[in-house]
Amino acid sequence: SYVLTQPPSVSVAPGQTARITCGGNNIGSKSVHWYQQKPGQAPVVVVYDDSDRPSGIPERFSGSNSGNTATLTISRVEAGDEADYYCQVWDRTSDHYVFGTGTKVTVL
């Protein structure tokens, strides 16, 4: 089965840039989506199709995808960005949807 690997945690100071990676075999050939989940809440999509943002999501959230790594970048980090972040793809070979292992972003 397809596996997506994320770093368990990322720490960043307010105003700085956080980068969260999502590793998978030839992930650059897939469409990657990113979700933010705050404690006690349901996930919310922040980036879809590698780099598109839903309405209402700040431009500070951006994404890229190439080779074996997709990246979610949060610019000018704010305290409210502290959350767990998950990448997700659809695996065509199995018709399964796969989530990454998740990354906890801590704002120092």
Q: Is 58 in the site for other proteins (CB under 8 A)?
A: no
Instruction: State the number of binding residues for other proteins (CB under 8 A).
Output: 26
Q: Which stretch binds other proteins (CB under 8 A): 15-23, 46-54, 64-72, 75-83?
A: 46-54
With CB under 8 A as the contact rule, the residue among 33, 63, 77, 81 that binds other proteins is: 33
The closest of 66, 55, 85, 64 to 27, measured between CA atoms, is 66
- C-alpha–C-alpha distance, residues 61 and 17, integer Å: 10
> CA angle, corner 59, sides to 43 and 87, nearest 5?
35
With CB under 8 A as the contact rule, the residue among 26, 42, 59, 79 that binds other proteins is: 42
With CB under 8 A as the contact rule, the residue among 31, 68, 73, 75 that binds other proteins is: 31
* Token pair belonging to 1: 């089965």
**What is the DSSP-derived secondary structure letter of residue 30?**
S
- Reading phi first (left if > 0) and then psi (alpha if -120 to 50, else beta), residue 40 is in left
- In the complex, the residues that contact other proteins under the rule CB under 8 A are 1, 31, 33, 35, 37, 41-45, 48-49, 54, 84, 86, 88, 90, 92, 95-102
